[in-house]
Amino acid sequence: MRAVVQRVKRSSVTVANREVGSIGRGFLVLLGIADDDTPEDLEYLVSKITHLRAFEDADGKMNVSLFDVAGELLVVSQFTLLADCRRGRRPSFTGAAPLETAQTYYNDFIRMVQQQGIRVASGVFQAEMEVLIVNDGPVTFLLDSKRLF
């Protein structure tokens, strides 16, 4: 499971010219599900993202989490995070999870974050989306549940 986590001042997602989700201060999470992901991968990323100390404390150091700043999460599915571009010029998506599996993990990710008391907005799974991002910093992290990077 892979995620691109961007600290934002605000972010929103639109489908067919209709806003379907928006947040204020928090993280935009672009989430990709791999074909070999397990519940442990899901738990790892939920914990890592919700506890990531990426917000500044009173001394200006990145030292506090979403919990500490009452931050929000906007989650957008993005299977292209699993693209393999090492050979040729056409990306291969064979490492991405099948549709039903990916959707289940995506929904579980949202539910697990909400259960921790964090407000979550989301895009529409498998839809063509327009994502507005007002970066804060900019601060961006790449996370992989297999710890490949």
Q: CA dist 77 to 2, 96, 98, 112, 128, Å?
A: 10, 12, 13, 16, 10
pLDDT of 148 reads: 87
8 domain residue, yes or no: yes
6 domain residue, yes or no: yes
What's the pLDDT tens digit per position in 92-109? 999 999 999 999 999 999
Q: Is 148 left (phi over 0), alpha (psi -120 to 50) or beta?
A: alpha
Q: Report whether 131 contacts 78 (CB < 8 A).
A: no
The model carries a pTM of: 0.95
What's the pLDDT tens digit per position in 16-45? 999 999 999 999 999 999 999 999 999 999
149: confidence class by pLDDT, cuts 50, 70, 90 = confident
148 domain residue, yes or no: no
105: Cα separation from own chain's centroid: 12
Q: List the domain range (segments joined by +) for residue 80.
A: 2-143
CATH number at residue 97: 3.50.80.10
39 domain residue, yes or no: yes
77 domain residue, yes or no: yes
Number of structural domains in the chain: 1
43 domain residue, yes or no: yes
Q: Report whether 97 contacts 35 (CB < 8 A).
A: yes
Active site residues: 78-80
